[in-house]
Structures are given as structure tokens and as C-alpha cells.
Amino acid sequence: MLRRLLLLHVPRRHFSSSFSSALPLSSPTFAVFGANTGVGKTLVSAGLAASLLRSHGASPSGVLYLKPLQTGFPADSDAEFLFRMVPSLLRASHAAHLAASLDILSASPSVEILPPLPEEAAFSYDGEGEVVRKQLSCRTLYAWREAVSPHLAAEREGMVVEDAHVRSRLAACLVEGENLGKGDGEGEVWKLVETAGGVASPGPSGTLQCDLYRAFRLPTILVGDGRLGGISSTLSAYETLLLRGYDVSAVILEDRGLSNDKFLLSYLRNRVPVLVLPPIPEDPSDDLTDWFCESSSVFGLLKDALQSFHSTRIQRLISMQRKSKDLLWWPFTQHNLVHVDSVTVIDSRCGESFSAYKVKDNKMTMTPQFDACASWWTQGPDSNLQIELARDMGYAAARYGHVMFPENAHEPALRCAELLLGGVGKDWASRVHYSDNGSTAIEIALKMAFRKFSLDHGILVDSGKSITNERNIQLKVLALEGSYHGDTLGAMEAQAPSAYTSFLQHPWYSGRGLFLNPPTVFIRNETCTLSLPPWIQHGHLSPGDKCFPSLAEVFCKTRDSSSAADLYSTYISQQLSKYSLSSNREHIAALIIEPVIQGAGGMHMIDPLFQRVLVQECRNRKIPVIFDEVFTGFWRLGVESTSELLGCLPDIACYAKLMTGGIVPLAATITTEAVFEAFKSDSKLTALLHGHSYTAHAMGCSAAVKAIQWFRDPSKNSNLDFDQMKLNEMWDGTLVNQLSSLPNVKRVVSLGTLCAIELKAEGSDAGYASLCARSLIQLLHEEDDIYARPLGNVIYLMCGPCTAKDICTEQLSKVYRRISSFNPVH
Amino acid sequence: MLRRLLLLHVPRRHFSSSFSSALPLSSPTFAVFGANTGVGKTLVSAGLAASLLRSHGASPSGVLYLKPLQTGFPADSDAEFLFRMVPSLLRASHAAHLAASLDILSASPSVEILPPLPEEAAFSYDGEGEVVRKQLSCRTLYAWREAVSPHLAAEREGMVVEDAHVRSRLAACLVEGENLGKGDGEGEVWKLVETAGGVASPGPSGTLQCDLYRAFRLPTILVGDGRLGGISSTLSAYETLLLRGYDVSAVILEDRGLSNDKFLLSYLRNRVPVLVLPPIPEDPSDDLTDWFCESSSVFGLLKDALQSFHSTRIQRLISMQRKSKDLLWWPFTQHNLVHVDSVTVIDSRCGESFSAYKVKDNKMTMTPQFDACASWWTQGPDSNLQIELARDMGYAAARYGHVMFPENAHEPALRCAELLLGGVGKDWASRVHYSDNGSTAIEIALKMAFRKFSLDHGILVDSGKSITNERNIQLKVLALEGSYHGDTLGAMEAQAPSAYTSFLQHPWYSGRGLFLNPPTVFIRNETCTLSLPPWIQHGHLSPGDKCFPSLAEVFCKTRDSSSAADLYSTYISQQLSKYSLSSNREHIAALIIEPVIQGAGGMHMIDPLFQRVLVQECRNRKIPVIFDEVFTGFWRLGVESTSELLGCLPDIACYAKLMTGGIVPLAATITTEAVFEAFKSDSKLTALLHGHSYTAHAMGCSAAVKAIQWFRDPSKNSNLDFDQMKLNEMWDGTLVNQLSSLPNVKRVVSLGTLCAIELKAEGSDAGYASLCARSLIQLLHEEDDIYARPLGNVIYLMCGPCTAKDICTEQLSKVYRRISSFNPVH
């Protein structure tokens, strides 16, 4: 028997909750969690390992047992127990020979430092005329002396190990272990990862073990508790695992004469198989051989249940690409252009990364991929917030289910409203109107603005009771070219004509607005540059008005007295006058803009001075101002509300996406009391008759409450500059500048959680229809494990407000390397 | 000392998960749950009771300790322990006199039967010069002999008690206990309800205790576990409580030298106070007086923490009406007409009932109210399904958070699609397009229909690549008067003009349709009657065509050959011909109907024969048919899809509301492959460019998967007639007939989960603006604990597909009594 005691020195740095390696999927891998400490996890592991190695045929070719965290070491060593027990069980039941290896990678400070040599000896199984070689490898990754919880042992012995360290070590072992015993055949290698204590016992850093291992999301064997109270602790442990997104593949527990198994079997029917083991001898001198012998049929059943779980899972994963392509209708997707192999099967997400099912070099893997789309601009949570939100979602569903909203009050809706009005609505808004998504929030905002405008301008009088010539009146919006406000007809009508609005897309679209072409700002060749639309005479602006040392100068309020401000003001006034002269039936009844960044239009940064002047001109004319903050709100651009960047306030603002932290749809249209008053009268007919069934649903509001508080809490969000209430730079300035200087890059926009890069493209290759960026995206996807989606010629990286800067830098470096070496195939 | 052993005999019948009595709120009431068995719940209860009774001043005037379930009785009796221990602790610490009562209401078969006489003796406290009388009452509600889990004891001793029985007994005790010691003063009565075993230990019927007591949702003291593994079991128990919607007000645990409290304190910081007790003496001969003495400061802190929790909660409840009225903007609500006192503060829901904060006779209560609006037509869950959904929501959030959808696959979206296509889409649909709510689903359906029509009729050719004169073409819908399809502009345009669509509501509405006035069906004077619109000559129909013995005949396919069918067909043809002659630019490009019942339009049942003929006429003309099943789908009308009732299929159907079981917004537009094909080409521009950020969000899809399966599973849904795949009659036929014969009732529509009653109203009192039903609704709300909302003159009761018929009958009886005795004040 070999014993290696290893101390690993890894430099301290920030790791993501994920790990970079793809985990093999072809062989079954299970985590062994316990409902409590002392319920027999190690006995279950041993019995299962023996059952596996005893099986006929080539599969499995080996069993890898991993004990990541061992306390009470060396007196207690579960790996050693298995290593000693399993061969003896096999010898007892068959004529067999086993030699196996035992590695211990320990955090204990006193032990000898050796390189980690995995060394597994073969085990020949000679049963029923055939000789099969199998291997068992048992490894401890970290060990501490004291027999207490790892967090306490680590603290007391001064040997704390970082979570990321544990995860990457475990991942490496799982990848390595794939080849165990493969010299002699092609069988599976079963891998068992036995945790320490109960499901929520802390690991060495204090992170609960169910959280520590979450990024792996291994299918789980839950060892239940057969004692008095054991039903409760088993079910609670089961729920704790579910609240981390684990799949429990089997529950197995000792019979202590209380029939806990019968109750659990009935409770978990059609969900999880429940198996019961004979009572474990309490006499410490018992070598347990008889018990294992008596239990072998149960372990056989466990093995079968796990095998079946594994095959079902794999078969489903394999079939999902085809089935999805056959049954689903993806939005914004030309199905003819999606090859079945290119469908991404997302098994789960953990913080900023997906776990995607992927076949690499003919091998099935579960691969972490950075979600550069921030799941289509909604994301928020790092792995900590995700688990917090999951717990809150369960609680909200259990407490409220759904309760209808009109004339009612419930805590999540009220609390969320308080946070909105004290945050993004501070100093101007006093009312919150909830709806379901950005598009509905915009439709509501337009209805609000039109009513307010109609009353202010005498189109409606006396709270709508008396209306004159209403059908001769046409209300329009003032908006910007390239704007996008959603996909329902009302929101579409407020945006300029584009590929989204053709007859093909909606025969009812007419474009009810005056759409201005705005100046934009971007970084090119390391310089912050103003790009002017054709209507501006370049000569009128000084170089200082067109180039800026940094973005801070672009946002600077001193520009209000620049020649650019005059130019903008004059132009806007002219346009509005021209419009009102051309028709006396048509009125500009609302201004609607996406402040600072136009998202879907191509990640264009609009000159904030232009937007500020626009707001002022509308205010002068009593035209209500709507900020569409659906994309830009809640720290997307580094501040909670982009009003702070623009330096001016709206009458109505719309929020969605990031508002719930990126977990569930919910939207809010917030507004001033003056707008609210426009709907008040003694008649129900003047009320705003717009509402959806799930308005202010409890789960959405609860998520928003958690997310809004989390993002602005410096103890949770380490990116936050609390004094300035803005996020520190997420995207490395040097890298951004380098990117902006690449010959195939047209412009870069980097602000808050967004870094967008427009590639150069010629002629018909430009615009939404373009597939230019597609091959680059494909390389990022396949080679760099970055899940991105092109927006015409624009590719972008988007993170959450709490994403560690290291993660951003890592992804941006990959993108830089990829673009700088990229030759698009035309 | 008194001991009463009582056996209660209550006839077996179905009880709802709720209970009918309002719980008093003014005095603090807490549940004591344990992280495991044997963690010291009873010691905590005793220490807390002593600490409360020891306090100076008039408050509390008494402490009521309830032990609903006691096993191991009479040797083990927690109530007796408290009764014995608390006075002795008070005597030890002060010059005090206590006489208290001990009641035991037992399910034990051998004990004497006596009426439950609550008998509490006074206790005079004489400290610091003042004499205060206080009372302690300790009661056991049910007891079994064997010291095992209640479910096992109940089974073994043949004494199972139903959950509803336990709940109503407990509720009665809590209400009664409010007056404890009040003879002498006005102080609070603290009530402690100590559970048995761990949080998820089964009660006598097998229901987990956390579920058994859920309807009360008492604030909870969690007694944690100080032993090895106790961090895990404490946190898991905490999460199990959260997953039932409980608020944990404090965690308290024994110090066993492992610093579990320190870890928990840090983990639960800013959420729950964590308190630690000195080690409990293990010597059974220790009378614990010293330990209690040593612990008294901790119990003092616990008391303070609970007091603070209670006051904060009550203050918040009191303030919520005002704050909600000041900050929220309710949809469909004229805020001027909402008095602050009439705002309903909903503290939680449990199955079909809200728990509403209500002041009754100057006393604050938490009152269960039947949610007759089925939370605005979304509801589904009984209390079992609600908890299942809560667990699934937590799991989905933890596993997926949100993952973007285009070109991706994830299990909940795929599984939900499979269930939709195998269920409501069976035999016709092959594609699922997800969105966020009914309104967006309709907008998508219209886009689908218009494209399909345009290709089929040569308006677009070659998958949209070549388009001729598109802006001269006007596409319209064929729809019915009284229809309602949602609040976004596209959905509004597809419905007939109404109060919802005025210039006041949306200046952009023009009503892009041909709207027909349909025949309707209702019950009046116990007869199922066809009501004809003016365009039909009554003389053309025989009496058998106009009156039906029951609804079954209305749906009967043999009517296809009736004279009514001919009449309908001729009329529809005429209308369509007239329309196409009047314009060659306008085309009827889609039929859109709410099958069988028009919901928002006033709960009108459209003659299904008329709708069937309509579909056939459109099919003959290659006009795509859209079924808006947002309200009617998923068993709302007793069948999974109303296609089954109508006897014909659509090309496109929209689902939302009940699809997720009524927990979170999600919608689906499902359609045929032929419609899907109309969007395929080699260009992204012909794809359906409509999608919301949270499209196919994992929580929504997971909820839908659970709900769809649950509703159609006879082992979960006892209302299901599995052979016919329809729900049994929910609303008592006799009561419905009686209602239909009341002089002030105009019509009744009763189908599936819906029972709608239109009241008679005259002249301007009719229609949406009407406030006629309002006073009736108010009486139902205040006197009958039915939460209803009027729809013009229509009041309705709506339940979920699994709601027990008893509950329906109870509510309908109340409504019948109320209407039959109602005199509206004009």
C-alpha cells in the first residue's frame, strides 16, 4: 500500500466559482452527500465500490473514490477505509486479487511535500472463467488533524484552503481519473466524490459544501438518516440539495427500526429511489464484513439505480439537440441557418457560466462557458447571488404563490416599490406601475405620456371626461434612429423603421414618430471619438468638441456650454418646429430614448450631451420624457440609473431585465405624481386600464428586492465604489485600447458591464442581416469557451455588476487574441 | 394541578388546507420548530415562558403553551414539563406565586372522554413593589403512547387524526387563548406552539409538520443543533422552513463546544438573530434549575428579539395600506375610488385562500379569505401543489438561474414543449414559441398568422424575399364583439372597440378587424338558453335550437346539422363577402377567438356551434385560425384544451395564466409546421423577430412542467375523470339552478372552474363602468371572507382544477345566501 502526503502550494488569486476544465461525462460520476454526519456515507461508498468492481464484464474498468476534505486525519481516513475494505470484500465474495493506490493530498502543514503521482495498481478479477483487470483508486485531497468540521479544523490548524483551489484540484482528479484501468479495456470508470459531514457542513473556507461543489453539479447519492428525527433531517437535506440545483439520484439509509425508509419511499415516490440497508453493527470491533455481505444485494440495487440514472441522463443529453430543433421555435432565429450540432444544450448555470453539454474529440463533456450575452442582457448574479435568489424564489412561491394586485398590497411589491422610488426614482418618481417585461413597460409608459400630454395641451380636458375631435388627433413620439423598445406593436411603433419593423415582420407597423439621427461616441485607435450625423457641419465644432481623452470628459456637464450644445439645440428646435408646421393634427406627445447606449440597435453610445439637450427641449415644450432603461438600468452601465450619467431626469422610466437580478421576468414603469394625477377622476374609465395577470408577482418582486439591495451593498458587491455609487472599471483599459487599435475593429464601446466591439465589414455585409461576426463567434464558442451571440457586426462581452474583474480580464484577453489573429472567410 | 385527557370525535370529511377562523394578531404567537429531534425545543419553550412571565409590567398577561402532538405520553409530556418547570423557575428567581392549568386533549384511545374545559389559574407576581397577576396555560392537543414519530404512533395505535382536525383544534385554542389572564388587565398573551421532532417530521396523517401548520404561517423560533453536523442540519431545517414560506424570527441552539453558533451567526447575519445556550447537563438527575438560571439572560435576549420581530411585523402590517396607496399604481384601478381602509393587505396565500391582515371589531387578525378571483384567473394550486411548485422554483433558480433561449436547449423548455405538443397541441401542433404573457403570445400569434396568410394569398412570395405593394395592403382580423386579447397595442387592435380601447386609453387604437356579434348561451331559470344577436331572425330557429336540457347538449356535435348551423354559416359567409367587396386593399388575414368563454368581456359563453362554423368558414378561405386560450386553457373550463369542447382545431393557439399552475408568468404560442415553414428561408430577415429576454425562462417552464402533469394526473387531481379526461362538475348543479332563478340574477354561466353570475342592472348601470356589484362584493369580502372582484355587473367564483368540491360548494352557498338576501342600494 502506498501513502502519499502532499502539500500543494498554489498562489492566492481570485478564482471564479467555476473551473476551466471540461468534465468527462461518459463514465458515471456521483457525489455522496449525507443527511447528517455519522449516517454512513463511507460505508455506502465502500459497498457501492465493491458492488461495481464485483460486476461481470469489462465495465466498469475501475472505480475512483475521492474524499476532497478529511478531518481527524490520519486516525480517520475514509479513503484508507475504502482502500482496505473493498478488496477484502471482493476477496470474501470471489477469488479476486486487488492492488490499489491511495493518495492523500493534504493541507496538513507537517507532512512531507511530494509531487502528486497518481499511481493505481491493477486488480485482476477472475470469476466465472473470465479474467478481467479492474482498478480501484482512493484519494484524499486535503486533510486536517482535528476531528471537527473542516472550517473549524482549517481555522484552528491555520490551514485554510480556498474554494477555487479545492474545485480545480477536484476537477483535475476527475479528468485524470477517466483513464483509470483503461490500459486493458474500454470500460467505464465510476467516480465517487464523498463529502464531509452533512450537506450544508462548511468546507475549509466556510463555504457550505453544497455550494462549494455546486459548479460540478454532480448527480448525488443522499445517505439518509434512519434514526429518530431522521425523516426530517433526510428531507431537509434533500431540499437543501434541490435549492442548489442538484439532482438526487438515490436515497439510501440504514434501518433503525423506525421505518423511516417506508415513509421516505412513499414521500419521494416517482422522484427518487429509496433503498434501505440493514442495521449497522454498533460494536466497534466488528469488521463489518458480515454487514457488507448482508447488504450486497442492496448495493447491487443502488448500482442499478445509479446506472439507470446515468444512462437516462446521457441519452437525454444526446437527444436534446435534435428534439429542440424539431419542437422549439426560437425567437430571432432563422431555423434554416441553425445546424442541429450547433444547438447549445445548457445543463445548468453557475454564476457567470453555463455548463454546456459538449462533444469534444469524440468525448462527451460538461463544459463551463462564460455567458458573454449575460443571458441576453438580463444577468446579474454571481454564484453567491444565484443561490440567494434561489432560496428567495422558493420562499416567495411558498409564501405567496401568486396573489392578484389591483387594490391589494403585499410585502414584496411594496418593498420593491420603496427600493425603486428610493433608488432609480430618487428625487423625481413617486409611483410604480408593474408589468411583465420591457415591452409592456414601454407600452404603459406611452399610455401615461399620451394622457399627460393630451391633458397639458388641451386635447383632453377635465381628466378625460370631455374629449374634442379625438379621432382627428394623431399623437407621435420623438425618438432616435437606431432605437429599440421591444417587440409588441406599441413599442415597435415608437421606434424607427428597421429590419425589425418591415411589413414582413409586422404588417401593422407604421412608425409613429419623428426619428432623429443622433451623434455617437466610441473608442477607435485608443481615442474617444464623437461621430457626427450628416446634418452637423463638422467645421462648426472644435477638435476639443470631437475628441476626448476619456469617457469622463464625454459625460462632463461643462459641455453644456460648448458649441456642440448650441448646435444640438438649434437642430432639435428646427426639427420640432418643422414638424409642427407640417401638420396641425399631429403632435409630438412624448420623447422616448434609451439613455446613453442603444442596445439592440447595435450597442451605440449616443452623445450624452445630445440626449441632455433633447430632454431640455422637450421639457420646454411640455412633452413628457420617457427613459427606456430596460437595458441600461441597474448598473448595466456602471451606475444604478443612467440619469446619473446623463445628468437629467425623465417623467417616466421603464425597468426590466436586470431589475430581478436576472432570474425571472418583471418590469416596472415608474413616474411622477403629476403623470399619475392625469388618470385620476371619479370614473373608472379614466383609470389606466392596462395590467397583466401576474402584475407584481411575488417571486419577481422578491428577486428585485434582493437584487437591488445586493448590487448596491459594498459588502456583497466588491466592484462598487460606494462613495461615488458607481462600479469600478470592469474591462481592462489597456486591453480595450489595444482592441480599439486592431485593423479589423471599427469601434469599441466599453461602459460598466458592457464591452462591445464592432468589426469592420463592407457593403452589404453590414447591418443586422450580416453573418460576418458569426465565424468569430463560433471560434470563441468552440475554442475559448465563451458563449457569445453576434449583433450584426458587433460582438460583445457582458458581465454582471458583481462579476470579479479577473473574470472580465480573462474573457477580454481571449477575445483580443481571437480577433487579432482572425481572418474572416469571405 | 388538573389533568384532562380528552378524546375528540369528529366526523371524517374533507377539509381545506386552511381553517375558517381569523387568528388574533395583537399578541405575539410563535411556533417552536427543531433542527432535529432532541435539540431542546421544550427547554427553549420553558425558558422563554419563564422569561416572559418574569417580566415587569402588565404585559404579557399570560403565556399559552400548546403542544399539538405528543408521543411517548404520558411518560413524556412537554406540556407537563413546562407546567412543572416554569413556576419553579419563577419561584427560584422571584417571590412569586403561580397556579396554572394543564389540559391535555388526547387522541389516545384508552383515556377518558371529557369536554375540553380550558381552565387557567392565575399567577400573582409581586416584584419591585407591584403586584401583577399573570397566567400560564399548558395544553397538549393529541397524545400517543409510543415514543416514536406521530405518524408511526398513530398508525401503530390505530389513532390517526386528520390534518384539518389538528388545524381547527389548534386554531380554536389560539383564538380562545387570547383572553388568558385578561380579566385583570389588557396585556398581551404570548402563545407558543411547540412542534414534535424536526421541521419535516411527519404528523399523525403523514403530512410533514412544516406543511401541516403552514396555513397558520406562525413566525418561527428554530431551535438549532449544537452537535457535530449541527450547522448542516440547522441550515437545512432553516431552508425547509423557508421553502414553506415561514419567517424564522430567531435561531437558538446549545453550545456543544463546536462554535456552531458562531458560524450560524455569521452565515445568517442581517437575516436572523442567533443565540447560544450553555451546554445542557446530560445527567438525567439534574433538575435543570441551575441551567435555566445560567441561561436566563439568553432567554431574555430571545424574548427581546421576538418582541422586536413581532412589533416590526405588526407596525409594517398596519402601515401597508397607507404606503401601498401612496406608492403603487394598480392596474385597472381608479385610485380615487379606493379608500385606504379598503386596501387588502395579503400576508400570504395557502392553496385557494389568502391570509389577509384585517381589523375586525377593533382587533387585528390574520383572516383566511377564499380567492374567488383565482388571483385573476391564473390559479391552479391547492396547498399541496403550491409547496411542490415552491420547491421546483427554488431548484430551477438554483440550477439554471436564467439562460438565454435562441439556438439553445434546456430541459425545462424542452420538456414543457413536449408536454404542450402532447397535450393541448396533440394531433395538430408541432412548434412551441415561448413568450412572457398572454398579450405577447397574442402579438406573436398575429405575426404568425399574417405571414402565413400573406404567403398563401400571394401578398408575399417566395418566403418573403419579394414583396409587392406591401404598404397598400391592410391586413385585418376576424373577431367577435366582446372579445379581449390583452393590453399591448397589437393585442388591442385585434379586439372590438370597448371601454378598454378608447382614445383616452390608447390614442393609437383603431380596431383592425371585422367584429361579429355572436350568439351566447347561459342558464336562466334553471334552463340553458341561447341568446341571439339582432341579426338572427328568432323565427328561423325551433325551440329545440334555443333551449337545452343541459350544457352537454349545447356542445353536442349533432347540432352541426341543425338549422342554427345553416343560419350561422350563411351569416358568416355574407359578412365575409360583404367585407371583401367593400375593399380590395383590406384582407381578413386571421380569425381570432376565445373559445367558448369570453373572459374579460364579461364571462359570456359563446355558442360553440357558432364558433365551430366560424372556424370552418375561415378554413375554407385559407384564413389562419387563432385560439386565444390564455384564459380558457388548462382545465379552466374543465378540459385541458377548449378545442375538445368546440370540436375543432386551430392553426395557432396561445396559452399563459394557468399554464404555470398559477405561480409565475410564462406564455406559449403553439402552431403547426405549415405556419412555422412560412418563416423559413436562407435569410435571417424572414425569421420571426420577436422575443423577450426571459423567453422560456427556466422557472416558468419548470412550473409549467409540474402543473401540466399534476392537473392531468388522477393520483394528484381528484377532480379528474380520467376516462373522459375532464373535470367532474365543480359547482353544485342544484345551487347553480337555484341561483339562476333568483329575481336579481340575469344569467349564470357555470363551466369547469368558473361560476359567473350576472346581476340585473338597469340602463347606465350596466357595462364595465358599473359599480353595481361593488356593494355585494364588499359584503362577500367583509362578512363571508370571500375575496371577489366585480366585472361590471358580473360576479364570479373561480377555483383551481384540483380544488376540493366541498370548498366550491361552501363558497357558492355563501354567494347564494348573500345574493338572495341582497338589496342593492341605488
Q: What ipTM does this complex have?
A: 0.94
Q: Is A347 on the interface with B (CB under 8 A)?
A: yes
Least confident of A501-510, A518-527, B507-516, B767-776: B767-776
Beta-strand runs (E) in B255-298? 274-277
Average pLDDT of every residue of chain B: 89
Q: How near does any CA of chain A get to the CA of B504, in Å?
A: 7
Tell me whether A508 touches chain B (CB under 8 Å).
yes
Q: Is the pLDDT of residue B94 over 80?
A: no
The H helix count followed by the E strand count for chain A is: 23, 36
d(CA A54, CA A65) in angstroms, rounded, equals 16
Q: Which residue has the higher pLDDT, A129 or B341?
A: B341
A-proximal residues of B, 546-565, CB under 8 Å: none
**Closest to B708 (Cα-Cα) out of B474, B392, B284, B256:** B392
Q: Are A635 and B667 in contact (CB under 8 A)?
A: no
Q: What is the per-residue pLDDT across A266-322, written as a single tens digit (0 to 9) for each?
A: 999 999 999 999 999 999 899 999 999 999 999 999 999 999 999 999 999 999 999
Kindly determine whether residue A343 and residue B243, on different chains, have CB atoms separated by under 8 Å: no
Q: What is the DSSP letter of A226?
A: -
Chain A residues lying within 8 Å of B467, measured CB to CB: 503-504
- C-beta atoms of B229 and A327 within 8 A: no
Tell me: the pLDDT tens digits for A762-772?
655 554 335 56
Per-residue pLDDT for B545 more than 80?
Answer: yes
Asked if B382 contacts B350 with a C-beta cutoff of 8 angstroms, the reply is no
A451 vs B: CB within 8 A: yes
Say yes or no for a CB contact (<8 Å) between A376 and B436: no
Rg (CA), chain B: 31
* pLDDT > 80? residue B690: yes
Query: Over 70: is that where the pLDDT of B768 sits?
Result: no
Cβ distance of B242 and A431 shorter than 8 Å: no
- CB A236 to CB B231 under 8 A? no
Statement: residue B761 has pLDDT above 80: no
Which chain B residues in 610-669 lie under 8 Å from chain A, judged by CB atoms? 656-657, 662-665
* High-pLDDT (> 90) share of chain A, %: 77
* Residue B627, min C-alpha distance to chain A (Å): 18
**Cα A226 to Cα A130, A255, B69, B151, distances in angstroms:** 40, 6, 21, 15
% chain B with pLDDT above 70: 88
- Which secondary-structure segment (H or E) carries A292? helix A289-327
For testing the chain A interface, which of B232, B366, B770 should be mutated: the one with the most A CBs within 10 Å?
B232
Is the bond preceding residue A412 a cis peptide, omega within 30 degrees?
no
Cβ within 8 Å, pair A381-B389: no
| Least Cα separation, residue B505 to chain A (angstroms) | 7
CA A729 to chain centre: 20
Which of B245, B402, B676 is opposite residue A398, by nearest beta carbon? B245
Size of interface A-B (CB pairs under 8 A): 602
pLDDT at residue A596 tops 90: yes
Closest approach of B464 to chain A, Cα-based (Å):
7
Longest dimension (CA), chain A: 101
A501: closest chain B residue by CA: B689
CB contact under 8 A, B488 and A440: yes
What letters, b where the CB count within 10 A reaches 16 and e where it falls short, cover B482-514? bbbbbbbbbbbbbbbebebbbbbbbbbbebbbb
Alpha-helical segments (H) within B328-410: 374-377, 383-400
- pLDDT higher than 90, residue B356: yes
Model confidence pLDDT, tens digit, residues A156-211 = 988 889 999 999 999 999 998 887 766 555 678 999 999 999 999 999 999 999 99
Q: Could you give the C-alpha distances from B630 to A397, B402, B468, B599, B659, in angstroms and in order?
A: 22, 24, 35, 10, 9
Interface of A with B in 230-259 (CB under 8 A): 231-233, 235-237, 239-240, 242-245, 258-259
**Facing residue for A467 by CB, picked from B373, B503, B691:** B503
Q: How far is A567 from chain B (nearest CA, A)?
A: 33
Residue from B316, B508, B787 to probe the interface with A (highest A Cβ count within 10 Å): B508
CA angle, residues A374, A380, A383, in degrees to nearest 5: 100
Q: Kindly report the number of other CB atoms within 10 A of residue B771's CB atom.
A: 15
Are the CB atoms for A66 and A139 separated by under 8 Å? yes
Least confident among A53-62, A494-503, B163-172: A53-62
> In the structure grid, which three cell numbers stand for residue A84, read together?
482496505
Helix (H) or strand (E) holding B355: strand B353-360
CA distance A1 to chain B (A): 32
Domains belonging to chain A, first-starting first, are 24-320 (3.40.50.300), 335-371+729-820 (3.90.1150.10), 429-692 (3.40.640.10)
CB count within 10 Å of CB A360 equals 11
Does B437 contact A at CB distance below 8 Å? Answer: yes
Distance CA A374, CA A370 (A): 9
- When scoring B228, B241, B343, B694 by the number of chain A Cβ atoms within 10 A, the one with the most, hence best to mutate, is B694
Which CA distances in Å does B644 have to A683, B145, B595, B705, B710?
A: 41, 54, 10, 21, 19
- Position B823 confidence tier, pLDDT thresholds 50, 70, 90: low
Chain A: residue nearest B263 by CA? Answer: A206
What is residue B116's predicted lDDT score, i.e. its pLDDT? 35
Asked if A440's CB is within 8 angstroms of B487's CB, the reply is yes
Three state DSSP letters for B72-105 = CCCCCCHHHHHHHHHHHHHHHHCCEEECCEEEEE
Task: Give the whole-angstrom CA distance, residue A580 versus residue B258.
Answer: 77
CB contact under 8 A, A692 and B500: no
Interface of B with A in 454-483 (CB under 8 A): 454, 460, 464, 467, 470-471, 473-475
Please list, residue by residue across B729-757, b when 16 or more beta carbons sit within 10 angstroms of its beta carbon and e when fewer do. Answer: bbbbeebbebbbebeebbbbbbbbbbbbb
Cβ contact, residue pair A375, B502, below 8 Å = no
pLDDT of B772 over the 80 cut: no
Report the residue of A37, A232, A588 to disrupt the B interface, i.e. the one with the largest count of B CBs within 10 Å: A232
Q: Do A258 and B152 touch (CB under 8 A)?
A: yes
- Mutate one of A264, A317, A408 to test the B interface: name it (highest B CB count within 10 A): A408
Task: Assess contact for A543 and A508: CB atoms under 8 A.
Answer: no
Looking at chain B, which residue has its C-alpha nearest residue A269?
B715
B509 close to A (CB below 8 A): no
- The answer to whether A790 faces chain B, any CB pair under 8 Å, is no
pLDDT the model gives residue A107: 42
By the 10 Å C-beta count (0-12 exposed, 13-18 middle, 19+ buried), B582 is classed as exposed
Q: How confident is the model at residue B113 (pLDDT cuts 50, 70, 90)?
A: very low
* pLDDT over threshold 80, residue B818: yes
Q: Is the pLDDT of residue B126 over 80?
A: no
Residues in chain A: 826
Q: Is pLDDT above 70 for A700?
A: yes
Provide the strand spans (E) within A224-350: 248-254, 274-277, 344-350
Instruction: Give the pLDDT mean for A21-38.
Output: 94
CB-based contact A176:A29 (threshold 8 Å): no
Nearest CB to B437; choose among A331, A407, A692: A692
Within 389-408 of A, beta carbons closer than 8 Å to B belong to 389-391, 393-408
Task: Burial-class residue B647 by CB neighbours within 10 Å (0-12, 13-18, 19+).
Answer: middle
Decide if B398 and A243 are in contact by the 8 Å CB cutoff.
Answer: yes
The residues, ordered by sequence, that sit 6+ positions from B335 with a Cβ below 8 Å of its Cβ are A676, A679, A680, A687, B325, B329
Question: pTM score > 0.90 for this model?
Answer: yes
pLDDT tens readout for residues A319-366: 999 999 999 999 999 999 999 999 999 999 999 999 999 998 889 999
State the helix-helix crossing angle for A438-456 and B438-456, rounded to 10 degrees: 100
Q: Does B792 touch chain A (CB under 8 A)?
A: no
Task: Evaluate whether B241 touches B199 at the Cβ level (below 8 Å).
Answer: yes
Whole-number Å distance between alpha carbons of B613 and B565: 7
Q: Of B193, B199, B194, whose CA–CA distance to B239 is shortest?
A: B199
Task: Answer whether residue A128 shows pLDDT above 50.
Answer: no
Distance from CA of A546 to the nearest CA of B (A): 35
Grid cell of B41 as nine digits: 425545543
CA atoms of A525 and B213, how far apart (whole Å): 66
Whether A9 has a pLDDT exceeding 90, the answer reads no
- Contact (CB<8Å) B148/A409: no
Higher pLDDT, B544 or B58: B544
Asked if residue B612 lies in contact with residue B560, where contact means CB atoms within 8 angstroms, the answer is: yes
Higher-scoring residue by pLDDT: B775, A97:
B775
Residue B372: φ, ψ to 5°: -70, -15
Of the listed ranges A371-385, B107-121, B738-752, B796-810, the least confidently predicted one is B107-121
How many residues appear in chain B? 826
Q: How far apart are CA B793 and CA B744, in angstroms?
A: 11
The minimum CA-CA distance between B64 and chain A, rounded to whole Å, is 26
B780: confidence class by pLDDT, cuts 50, 70, 90: very high
Residue numbers in A near B240 (CB within 8 A): 232, 235-236, 239-240
A149 interfacial to chain B (CB closer than 8 Å): yes
Whether B132 shows a pLDDT value over 70: the answer reads no
Interface mutation target, options A328, A335, A672, chain B, most CBs of B under 10 Å = A328
Q: What is the mean pLDDT of chain A?
A: 89
Hey, is the C-beta of A490 within 8 angstroms of any chain B C-beta?
yes
